[in-house]
Amino acid sequence: MNSRVKRLALPLGGAIAATSMIGATLVTSANAATAPVRKSAALASSGSAQKIANFWKANGGANLKAAAQFTGDQQVSGKVKLGGGDAKPDGKAGVIAPIGQEKVTPTKVKNVNLPKTIGKVFFTVGDKEYWCSASSVQSKYHNLVATAGHCVFDEGVQNGALDNWVFIPGYYQGKTPWGIYVGKAAYTHYDFAVYEDYDSDYAFVTVYNGITYAGEKQVTKETYDNWQGYKYAKDVEITAEEYKKKVDEKGGESADAWAKTSGSEKIVPWGTKDAVTATKEVTKDEFDAASKVPATQNFHQAPELTKTEIVDEEFYNKYTGPGYKKIVDSAFTITHYYLAYAVEKTSTVKYYKTVFFIEYYKDAGRLGDNVGGQGFTWNQKVGQPVYVFGYPAAPHPDGDKPFTGVTPKWCYGKTFAAKAAAAFKAEAQIGLKCSMTAGSSGAPWLLKYSSTKRLGYINGVTSLIGDADTNGRIDFSTSPYFDTETYSIYKAAANLWSGSIVAKDGDVITKA
């Protein structure tokens, strides 16, 4: 694939491929041959990385559970022919071996075993949480993730990258079995980052060491106030003696202990000792039915409280309370009636203090050491069989929703040169017959995948999906063709160190 400078504005990175082909104007530059190939963006410093992890872990992973599959607003229309694109090698084929295979004892298996390397990348766009599919990939420091470019880069944001970006391998309903891996730096092709050329819709992201939950601890308010990680406070009841001790110690009520008085009322017969009179508004019928003499029943009329108010017509018509509505000489009136009764009041004093907690996280180690990493290959011949593993979630165009996005799914088949999709400047992508819907963006395409070893070679990532026969069902996916330029971008990212985001006291986070 040759570098191309393109000037056509595109919609946000796509989950559904636009299938009506429109003409794309290509503006070539005299300097195209010397145009930059690689584009990078910082995702998080070590200082901000823990805050990003806390954003996703807080409140039991509420933000993780709230995330939706990332998708654009493209609509399927027209008919798309499969094949016909110009995806082809631009040099000698190459391979990088996967990591993790030496730990597996080869056995024959009949089922397709899911790779440990796959998971979801989570990020935010504005105030909304989203996710895509992704996979760990081999690198020098075992710290690299491969996904779609549109799941990382957005030309419309400040630094060109999406916010709060993390990778969670094996994610399932808020659980993070191997930890959360915060993105440090992202790399993609210049043509995608600047011109949204989907022939380069891939990204390689270095991630910090993962962090995992290590427990919680009750601390002083001072420690709580200074804690930069996830923390919470709750009120607990204490004894009167404990409360008095705190008050005596502080010379008055302390900031984290207080008394609270609550009361209750019990209706009692008239004449009960120490009873007090209470009133309540009732309907005219209830008022008329009540006794005028307290001795005959608990409730009796309180005519001294009866009052009539004049209101406007709008209020009169909307009023639904117990008051009696009546029009008198063209005036709209509402009369309120009350009953009196005897109650015995009791009060209870309870004492409370605020207890402060902080959550600890420990360094989970490097991504590749925990889940392995798929190999990487480029300039491969089109037409070879691949497995695709992703997390589809969106319904098909006809409304049917066979996927949940909760568990990964897979497709298998031989790749083909995908027909150009002008709306995405996609002229050199490969395709695969596959029914995965939106949510599968970024899913790894694995060549020579071993179900026994759960490892293969990443030869693409899901970029676009579409309905080839216009029957309302997604039936194919596409991926950028991985060529020499793809390898150069992968190589640049694969040789970068990330390190840990954990300031350690032993093996536990003490400060962000």
Tell me, yes or no, whether 18 lies in a domain. Answer: no
Q: Which two tokens stand for residue 475?
A: 């039936």
Burial class (CB in 10 A: 0-12, 13-18, 19+), 288: exposed
| pLDDT higher than 50, residue 147 | yes
Kindly state whether residues 476 and 408 are assigned to the same domain: yes
Letter string b/e over residues 2-37, b meaning 16 or more CB atoms within 10 A of that residue's CB:
ebbbbebebebbbbbbbbeeeebeeeeeeeeeeeee
Q: Please list the helix, strand and coil fractions of the chain in percent, rounded to the nearest 5, in that order.
A: 20, 40, 45
Last residue of a domain, one of 319, 347, 375: 347
CA distances to 158, 194, 463 from 471, in Å: 40, 35, 21
User: Do 44 and 191 fall into the same domain?
Assistant: yes
Rg (CA), the chain: 33
Residues 382 and 416: beta-carbon distance below 8 Å: yes
Sign of the CA dihedral with 499 first, then 505, 506, and 507 last:
negative
* Overall average pLDDT of the 12-41 stretch: 45
What's phi and psi for 116, nearest 5 deg? -70, -20
pLDDT band at 378 (very low <50, low <70, confident <90, very high): very high
Looking at the structure, tell me whether residues 225 and 198 fall in a common domain.
no
49-53, 93-97, 314-318: least confidently modelled range: 49-53
Total tally of structural domains belonging to the chain: 3
Which pLDDT score is estimated for 20? Answer: 27
Mean pLDDT of the chain: 83
The CA-based dihedral angle spanning residues 478, 395, 64, 62, taken in that order and rounded to the nearest 10 degrees: 170
Q: Which residue has the higher pLDDT, 174 or 46?
A: 46
Statement to judge: residues 144 and 278 lie in one domain: no
Tell me the mean pLDDT in the region 432-438.
Answer: 93
Residues spanned by the domain of 149: 32-105+112-209+366-511
For 9-18, 72-81, 133-142, which range has the lowest pLDDT when averaged over its residues? 9-18
Q: Is residue 22 part of a domain?
A: no
Classified as helix, coil or strand, 397 is coil
- Residue 273: its pLDDT value, please? 87
Residue 63 dihedral angles phi and psi, to the nearest 5°:
-70, -35
pLDDT exceeds cutoff 80 at 82: no
Residue 487: the pLDDT is 97
- Whether residues 197 and 341 share a domain: the answer is no
Task: Give the domain-ending residue among 296, 314, 347.
Answer: 347
Same domain, 391 and 300: no
Residue 8 within a domain: no
Percent of the chain with pLDDT over 90: 53
pLDDT for position 316 = 96
> Would you say residue 20 lies in a domain?
no
Average pLDDT over residues 20-44: 55
pLDDT of residue 9: 27
Q: Residues 239, 322: one domain? A: no
Residue 26 lies in a domain: no
User: Quick check: is 25 in a domain?
Assistant: no
User: Among the three residues 359, 380, 404, which one is the final residue of a domain in this structure?
Assistant: 359
Question: What tens digit of pLDDT does each residue of 380-414 get?
Answer: 999 999 999 999 999 999 999 999 999 999 999 99
120 and 64 housed in the same domain: yes
Clarify whether residues 44 and 148 are in a common domain: yes
198 and 77 together in one domain: yes
